[in-house]
Structure 1
Amino acid sequence: MLNPNWLERLAAYHPKRRAVFFRDRWLTYGELYERARRAAATLKALGVGPGDRVGLLSWNHPAYLDLLFAAPLLGHILAPFNHRLSLPELLALHAYAAPRVLFYGEGFREAAEALDPRALPLSALLEGEGEPPEGYAPGLEDPALLLFTGGTTGLPKGALIPYRQLLLNALETAFAWGLSREDRYVLATPMFHAALNALATPLLYLGGEVVIEERFQPEEYLELLRRHRPTILFLVPTMFAMLLESPAFAETDLSSVRFAISGGAPCPAPVREAFRARGVRFKQGYGLTECGVNCFTFELEEAEAYPESVGRPMPHLWARIVREDGGEAGVGEAGELWLSGGVVMKGYYNRPEENAKVFAFDGARLWLKTGDLAFRDEAGRYYIAGRKKEMFISGGENVYPVEVERALYDHPAVKEAAVIGVPDPRWGEVGAAFVVLKAPLDPEALRAFLRGRLAGYKVPKHLFFLEELPKTGPGKVQKEALRKLWEERHGAA
């Protein structure tokens, strides 16, 4: 049976090996496990027991790992909160998750005490005395994490992540991505999100090294690259783009990087090409909180030859593409991506009606309906066409916003772009594009550029130039916010 408390073994195997770097100090594997034991003792003294949620509101910090690795010693469930949310949003999430205790990092005291007057600073997490309870042994189906989904519409749902998912994702990622204990990366994406498991836990599972950046700042990130010489880069497209804008990018030595992976959304071709010009090989990742974060894999050579593809399913993950009528989609035909395997979540916390919507049984197999549109080519490579709910029909033709966004990114003056479908009296729906520019650009010139790359019905009828696009904590564009903006500006294209 797989061991949920695998850090104990690694601490015994190589206690003095470097594990995590934070604020100018390395923590060894021995120290990392000792911190987990102290955290478990602290929680025990606070009355936390199996099944209790433990909340965390903080910038990136080793406390996320302390609470995660303490969970198999005590049985609690780590529930990290998105620190970018407004107080009303956090209040709703706190009421939903109902954590037994809430810890907060620097700068979050006021918000945390508004959620729970008894909230404790992170400095209190490792002050517990005594030993964690003996004899507790978590099962693989027991939940270790309660991760809130992106929340671009309404209150996010809490996905219950069992130890089974954590372990299988670590094993699959290490094997399929070719990771080793010699690999190192800078963790700069928010640790309150599923990105915590994208690369940090797989690398630590192997005995690798993780450098934690408290808050992503392009210049600081590049300095960490120069200082620590990481072998793998993992960021969302917005972060990669921000690195390119930094004057320090051109001088940063990237020769240690074996490859870079973009997650969260398709990475624009100009961004990929800029890194490729610096010798950094690129892969497009795909995953979701509910299904173990890393769902597809690709050999580097093939990933470079087919940059719009996310590759093929992980070895122990099954994928299918389902048409609207429930039938199996053919080669090149778009449909909803369904996934099945040991990395699928237990379900949404206290949301049986939502579970009924996303799970489907087909014989003996349980499928997760991802809500993402995808298609595959004759060689079995998968491509993500966007969210199912984002596709719109213009004059009877399906339009996938991600395809239009890719064409927009091809223009050298476009920095960021997002497309939604909006009502139109003649065509039913048409595209509305929201664009952030690098340099001045005439709307008609941009439309002419798109007409050279897209069918006429795919060219957005409405164009809006913005200073920035609204985003969620993990860096995804909030298209519902764009829809509200469209409603406010309707007719002002």
Structure 2
Amino acid sequence: MELNANWLERLAAYHPQRPAVYWRGEWIGYGELYARARRAAGSLAGLGVGPGDRVAVLSPNHLGYLELYFAAPLLGFVPTFLNHRLSPAELQGLVEYARPKALFFGPGQEETARRLDPQARPLEALQSLPAAGFAPFRAGLEDPALILFTGGTTGLPKGAVLPYRQLLVNAAQTAMTWGLSPHDRYVVATPMFHAALNALCTPLLYLGGGVMVQEKFDPGEHLAWVQQQRATLLFLVPTMFQMLASHPHFAAADFSSVRWAISGGAPCPAPVRQAYAAKGVRFRQGYGLTECGVNCFALEPEEAERFPDSVGRPMPHLWARLVDAGGQEVEGAGTGELWLSGPTVMKGYYARPADTARCFAEQGGRTWLRTGDLAQRDAAGRYYIVGRSKEMFISGGENVYPIEVERALYDHPLVAECAVVGVPDAQWGEVGLACVVLKEGASLLEDELRAFLRGRLAAYKVPKRYVFLPELPKSAPGKILKGELAERYGGAHA
């Protein structure tokens, strides 16, 4: 079977003037976007870039990401996106790992990029470098289309190799199950070096919709764009949704154009969802991971409102199962590690055969991706993510899932953000450490919060130790760095 990896060419012919990308105050049509992709491909060909070569980007959100993304199937190179928030030493390790043929940088990254590669060029150069002709590349479904690095908190991130089949199937089934429309548009504010291109940007452009590229997340600007450009969808991580809701302009903001909002990266706290519900915005909880790029479940808005903690049911072309520690499938309402199988699963980790082998399992005639996430499934087939397998801890012989404790913490009206981790304890083996950020101006004693939780949780689930902080450490995509909290505040014994 052959699918068209160069589908932007068709859309540029179908509706060249239709707005595709909002960039620095102006809308770029589909025809111009495709012309920019072709010009970028010519520039890269002039540098000697060809099939299989990696082309790296070190930049905040930028139009250049899309130019490279759509130039790739024309020339056969593999866009490889670097997290610009990493340290120079970490970036050096990634460059040595990926060995890109060329490196392009965005605003504020020139000094770092030139240290990594003295020949590094600004993304704007994609439209001005001496161009060369190139033979048409016919991308196969298994050809590598993109390398995205996992957001690991220990060791060198691994590069997940996403083939064209993944991009195409994810776009098609996301558009179908999420009910997307050519009239939809949204603000791309989550990092484009992470999953933003896959999550909603590609599916919307695949349909002929519009995306607005925000270079750096700014809540006030985001709210203004939603109203001025009539955004119909919101896609952010919980921290960003909370920042929007806390902005002074949120109360008066007009969300009448928004059909629904979806939260990714982590479960969205109930108080944040309620703030948007009060504005008439329907909320969904998303779930995905880089290695299964990236939308794995779906739930209709009406059902999502009745089951706000559920991520939904597997996408049409994805299979899911829950597996216990012994490798046996979990039936009924038990908890197990989530395994996924289907055409949206990555090819593997770039140049990491041992890591690739560890994350895959062959069972029942299928290749399964071990996600490392713990989940539950109800009688209606809805899935609920209860945490990472490595985050679960055992206190006095009882399993404790941090997400359950965090949901109880968010019920307290003074809690703005929280994270629960297991830390060593001489008596119980492990106990919970609750790291809490209070709402501005609020004051709360540890004993008061502990008493509040005792009315909602079994005694062994109630954290034994509490740390009140001005903010929680987060990764570039906005995930709370629990490992850093455990290391910083856990100590030898809680």
TM-score (norm 1): 0.98
Find the counterpart in structure 2 of residue 325 from structure 1.
326
Which residue identity does 2:353 align to in structure 1?
Answer: P
**SS in structure 2 of the partner of residue 436 of structure 1:** strand
Aligned-residue offset at 1:328: 1.2
Structure 1 window deviating more from structure 2 (267-276 vs 78-87): it is: 78-87
Q: For residues 225-273 of structure 1, what are the alpha-carbon distances to aligned partners after superposition, in whole Å with 9 as ceiling and x for unaligned?
A: 1111111100000000001110000111001110000000000000001
Q: Is the 8 A contact 1:38 1:128 kept in 2?
A: no
Greater than 4 Å deviation, 4+ residue runs: 129-132
**Which stretch of structure 1 is more off in the superposition, 438-447 or 149-158?**
149-158
Question: 1:467 deviation in Å?
Answer: 1.3
SS at match of 2:302: helix
RMSD between superposed Cα atoms in Å: 1.1
- SS of the aligned residue for 1:192 comes to coil
What CA distance in whole angstroms lies between the structure 1 residues aligned with 2:168 and 2:266? 24
Cα distance in 2, alignment partners of residues 2 and 78 from structure 1: 20
Q: Percent identity at matched positions?
A: 66
Indicate the residue corresponding to 1:442 in structure 2: 445
Would you say the 8 A contact 2:55–2:80 is kept in 1?
A: yes
**1:479 CA displacement:** 1.4
> What amino acid maps onto 1:442 in structure 2?
L
TM-aligned CA deviation for residue 143 of structure 1? 0.7
Q: Secondary structure at the match of 1:417?
A: strand
Corresponding position: 1:72 with 2:95: no
Name the amino acid aligned to 2:457.
L
- Note the C-alpha offset of 1:483: 1.8
Structure 1 partner of 2:489: 486
What are the residue-to-residue correspondences of 1:203-282 with 2, within 5 Å? 203-282=204-283
Q: CA deviation at 1:292?
A: 1.8
Maintained 8 Å contact 2:93/2:156: yes
Match of residue 369 from structure 1: 370
1:403 partner letter: E
Normalised by the size of structure 2, how large is the TM-score?
A: 0.98
Number of residue-to-residue matches in the alignment:
491
The gaps in structure 2 that reach 5 residues or longer are none
Q: What's the secondary structure of 1:389's corresponding residue? A: coil
How many Å apart are 1:490 and its aligned residue?
5.5
Distance 2:65 2:45 in 1: 17
Name the structure 2 match of 1:460. 463
Correspondence for 1:126: 127
Once the 2 structures are TM-superposed, how far is the Cα of residue 129 of structure 1 from its aligned partner?
A: 4.3
Gaps spanning 5+ residues in structure 1: where? none
Amino acid at match of 2:191: P
8 Å CA contact 1:37, 1:132 repeated in 2: no
Question: Do the aligned residues in 1 keep the contact of 2:233 with 2:258 (CA within 8 Å)?
Answer: yes
- 1:473 is matched with 476
Contact 2:424 2:492 survives alignment (8 Å):
no
Distance 2:340 2:391 in 1: 20
Correspondence for 1:106: 107
Indicate if the aligned counterparts of 2:177 and 2:298 stay in contact, CA closer than 8 A: yes
Aligned equivalents of 1:10 and 1:475: distance in 2? 33
Shift of 1:343: 0.3
Q: Decide whether the 8 Å contact of 1:433 with 1:464 is kept in 2.
A: yes
Pairwise CA distance, 1:135 = 3.1
For 1:141, the equivalent position in structure 2 comes to: 142
* Secondary structure, counterpart of 1:404 in structure 2: helix
Partner of 2:187: 186
Alignment CA distance shift 1:52-1:134 (3 Å): same
1:123 positional shift? 2.0
Equivalent residue letter for 2:481: Q
Give, in whole Å, the separation in 2 of the partners of 1:234 and 1:360.
Answer: 32
2-structure distance, mates of 1:423, 1:337: 26
User: 2:311 maps to what in 1?
Assistant: 310
SS in 2 for 1:125: helix
> How far did 1:131 drift?
5.4
Is 2:78–2:144's contact at 8 Å kept on the other side of the alignment?
A: yes
Q: Distance in 2 between matches of 1:177 and 1:131?
A: 41
1:108-142 deviations in whole A, cap 9, x for unaligned? 10110111111111121111344541232111101
Distance 1:34 1:490, change over 3 A: same
Report the alpha carbon displacement of residue 486 of structure 1 after superposing the two structures with TM: 2.1
Shift in alpha-carbon separation, 1:422–1:11, aligned structure 2, 3 A: same
> 1:421-469 deviations in whole A, cap 9, x for unaligned?
1111111111111111111110110011111111110011111111111
